Structure 1
Amino acid sequence: MRSVLPILAVLAAIVALWYAAAVWLNSAWTYDQAARAGTEVSFGALVRDTLQQERPVLPAPHQVAKGLWDGVMGQAVTSKRSLVYHGWVTLSATLLGFAIGTVLGIALAVGIVHNRAMDMSVMPWAIASQTIPILAIAPMIIVVMNSLGLQGLVPKSIISAYLSFFPVVVGMVKGLRSPDAMQLDLLRTYNASAREVLLKLRLPASLPYLFASLKVGVAASLVGAIVGELPTGAVAGLGARLLTGSYYGQTVQIWAALFAAAIVAAGLVMIIGAVERVTLSRMGLVR
């Protein structure tokens, strides 16, 4: 119970600040309407109006919660207004891109560790690739993929993989290099080949680093999938909900889609964390 109280206190403070910010930012509209009507606005009326506007500048927490509830529970999952439907579209691209990014990241990390030329040449390019804003490169990827006849899931997955592979590369390189010289010398005395050193020492030692990087990579992968939906004018996906909400000034819809994306990301990270605990406990690395 004591460990929960600080979390609840911080959450209560955030909600209180959020409500105060909503009253402040939405008050301009209330004062403007009152000035046009030639009336005065009491503090109580101001608070009530700012917390129930249809298109507020900053939706109140209860408005976002209602938008989430209506989007998840208030619609059929096949409805184009359902956040479950749009979430699944984004999640599909996220998982495919995450799988591609993970495989490429692990393969590249193995090559970097075992080949000094790759370490000196490929690694700097991998780092430099992350300096390019994803919003700049996403439209180019979409255009190139469309010219090749690839639309829908694949272009979004490539953008998603672009963001997710770098954390995996960095984490795996660090993990594969984590065994100390004594452990490596021991395997050499057993005349172990490079493949056996990789499978029996380097890969098991890299798993804690891999899982840490996967948690970062899956969150980045979700961001990539959402960004991939923005330049295409997509009609499905959480990115599409953000677009339509911005077009029509539906700020509650925008915030509900943002929170839905955050919930999906948190769920994916929790799943990876659960797999990590099971895997490392069976290896005897955690109790």
Structure 2
Amino acid sequence: MSWINRVRNAIPFIAKRQESADTLWHKCSSCGQMIFTREWEENLSVCPKCDHHGRIGPKARFDQLLDQGFTVLPTPTVREDPLKFRDSKKYTDRIKAARAATGDTDALINARGAIDGKPVVLGVQNFAYMGGSMGMAVGAAFIQGVEAAIESRAPYVIFTAAGGARMQEGILSLMQMPRATVAIRKLHAAGLPYIVVLTDPTTGGVTASYAMLGDIQIAEPNALIGFAGQRVIENTIREKLPEGFQRAEYLLAHGMIDMVVHRRDLKTTLAQVVSYLAPAQAA
């Protein structure tokens, strides 16, 4: 240890090295505003200047929405790297890196709990885990969430955030789309609601399946929601598309979703929706 580090550690009022600009400050990805990390977290990861909703993972969602005492469900075990896939890196190495970066086993995590006293099973996709991509583990976790909701006689609420199917798993990834659709039908057959909250971004095969099958479709402000990218669509149809046509507010204006809700109001809104759709379970 160098002498300057010994002096720094010995003097309590000098900030430790780990309290660097990277940990003390957060830069808004929309407006570029520098915000104290504590202020950013206390504001639910929403920029106080431009109101941009930052991307957050399962732990933050559970803490923000669920009453104390919720239980995180164990991630289902599936076969990893079934195709022995490799591009610039081995798929297994990408999985290890994603787990180290997020602390999650895969991109969809479920928890059983309550929102303002109303029982729910809550699933959250984590875009930080390989773009929230839908592979076999995500499909298994979605089915787990539905089965837990049926067992608990509670609605299944899912927060989507994904770049689409996980191409490292090929057709096995795409097969999760019909599997999720069948699971939703089982939930409806049990007389239970399915509530979707679309967050930034929700795209690809996730949008083409369970993300757009909710009894109620809610979105966070300015969330990117679509199937293919704007440039791909424009090159295909040879037409210029409206600015922001894949944003939550545009979809609301054109009837594709039911409401756009600020993050600070999400817990109250979800509690109300659960009361309306599942009054017996919420009582």
Q: TM-score, normalised by structure 2?
A: 0.23
* Bigger RCO of structures 1 and 2 (CA < 8 A, at least 6 apart): 1
Whichever structure has more strand as a proportion of its residues is 2
TM-score, reference length from structure 1: 0.23
Query: Which one has a larger percent helix, Structure 1 or Structure 2?
Result: 1
